[in-house]
Structure 1
Amino acid sequence: MVGEGLKALASKIGVCLTFSVKNSHTTDLSRENLGVEQDEALAVNFAFKLYKLADESVTTENPRDDLVRRVKGMSPTVTTVVEQDMNANTAPLTARVRETCEYYGALLESLEATVSRENPDRARVEEALGRKMGNSVACEGRDRVERCEVLGKWRARMSMAGFQPVPMGQPVAESLRVKLNSGTRGNPGFTVNDQSGGICFGWMGRTLTVASAWR
């Protein structure tokens, strides 16, 4: 499904695309194992993936930072990070409960404003969000896989691995605003802002997701 979607998009914009799936452990990551040709540009997209990896607060192996360093070692032309903007990793329990309630409260409000209660997909989404909330506040150690961090923390991790930020700029934010406001019902309350070189997507002023680019 992903491959077909990418091929359709590539054909639409006139890009020649070959799609293949690689199944390997992160410790085996290399340009050679990925089949990257010598003069070929490599782009890495961390979209809602890093937050599930344990960090130094869970194990000295720190697979979160280890993966980032391994990717940097492959010298990608660009690396993008897209994550929930939520301080729920190393925060104490009381702060984590408050942050979880505020974050998912805003997310559920946006769902209420945009998806009909009769829509069968809505119940499945709400159920999935409920599991994520429960894991964020009720589990500890390796049992807690919901370990979201805010943009500042991701910036620190990427910088320590040797990455330099690539500002995405106001034009990107503006193009997203145009798309949000172009629907027949208008924009019910979503926000898009350029902050510290990253693009912040939120609801009623509360940032929910942040995208940043690195090289």
Structure 2
Amino acid sequence: MLHFTPDESSAPPNISQSHSNIVPRTMFLNALRGLDPTILIVVEEDADFTACNVVERLRAAFNYMWIPFDAVDSFLPKGGEQRRRYEEAVCWKIENAIAQEGLERVERLETRSKWMQRMRGVGFRGVGFGEEAVGELKSMVDEHSAGWGVKKDEEEILVLTWKGHDVLFASAWMPAAPPPPLPAPAPLIL
């Protein structure tokens, strides 16, 4: 659900300028870190739809959204209700990425490298998945459809691929040290 959380500052106009750089994603991750979890798993699509520039978001959508359309051809028959619903969901993602601005843009996908930076920035360290888990995932993927694959990147993050192109990733995180104190809430100036 983090990709539905805005990345832009969400401070209302009546909050003083010194508090206008509040980033909701960072605030949420800091709150999670403050809970001192044993482990946190992040699973997300590996695309970047956060650019402020519509041309960059259009380019990202073009470079990424062909994958679900191509994949659906391999496992859902044309004309079926399930395929129609799947294609509608993909079309919504494209429209959201390129036609909506600011807080009207509901979904903001980020690449795994950005998520890694965010997680480390709030005090988590990456934990690799065991070979048994990787093997089990690979065998499940192999059973379902040719074209899908699983790899482990240099950071020990699992990546689901379609015809060699990264689609989504799964990463595991543990607290790097005791949680930092949560910042005091900003006073509202009315």
Alignment map for 1:119-158 (pairs within 5 Å): 119-158=80-119
**Equivalent residues of 1:165, 1:213 under 8 A apart:** yes
Matched with 2:26 is: 65
Instruction: List per-residue Cα deviations over 1:21-53 (Å, max 9, x = no partner).
Output: xxxxxxxxxxxxxxxxxxxxxxxxxxxx11110
Work out whether 1:193 is the aligned partner of 2:145. no
In 2, the alpha carbon distance for the partners of 1:194 and 1:79 equals 18
Q: Which runs of no fewer than 5 residues in structure 2 stay unpaired? A: 12-20, 175-190
What's the Cα RMSD here? Answer: 1.6
Shift, 1:170, TM fit: 4.2
Aligned match of 2:61 in 100, 106, 117? 100
In 1, the alpha carbon distance for the partners of 2:112 and 2:26 equals 15
Q: Which amino acid is the alignment partner of residue 172 of structure 1?
A: A
**Equivalent residues of 2:9, 2:22 under 8 A apart:** no
Q: Which amino acid is the alignment partner of residue 211 of structure 1?
A: A
In 1, the alpha carbon distance for the partners of 2:158 and 2:56 equals 25
Work out whether 1:213 is the aligned partner of 2:165. no
Matched with 1:55 is: 7
Shift, 1:141, TM fit: 0.6
Q: Which runs of no fewer than 5 residues in structure 1 stay unpaired? A: 1-48
Matched with 2:181 is: none
Q: Which amino acid is the alignment partner of residue 54 of structure 1?
A: P
Q: With a CA cutoff of 8 Å and minimum separation of 6, indicate the structure with the bigger relative contact order.
A: 2
TM-score by length of 1: 0.71
Query: Secondary structure of 1:110's match?
Result: helix
Q: What is the number of equivalent residue pairs in this alignment?
A: 164
TM-score by length of 2: 0.80
In 1, the alpha carbon distance for the partners of 2:24 and 2:78 equals 40
Give me the identity figure in percent.
29
In 2, the alpha carbon distance for the partners of 1:192 and 1:65 equals 29
In 2, the alpha carbon distance for the partners of 1:209 and 1:135 equals 19
In 1, the alpha carbon distance for the partners of 2:52 and 2:152 equals 26
Instruction: List per-residue Cα deviations over 1:111-149 (Å, max 9, x = no partner).
Output: 111111143111011111101110101111101122111
Matched with 1:164 is: 125
In 1, the alpha carbon distance for the partners of 2:74 and 2:138 equals 18
Shift, 1:55, TM fit: 1.5
Matched with 1:13 is: none
Shift, 1:169, TM fit: 4.3
Shift, 1:182, TM fit: 2.9
Query: Secondary structure of 2:77's match?
Result: coil
Matched with 1:45 is: none
Work out whether 1:178 is the aligned partner of 2:139. yes
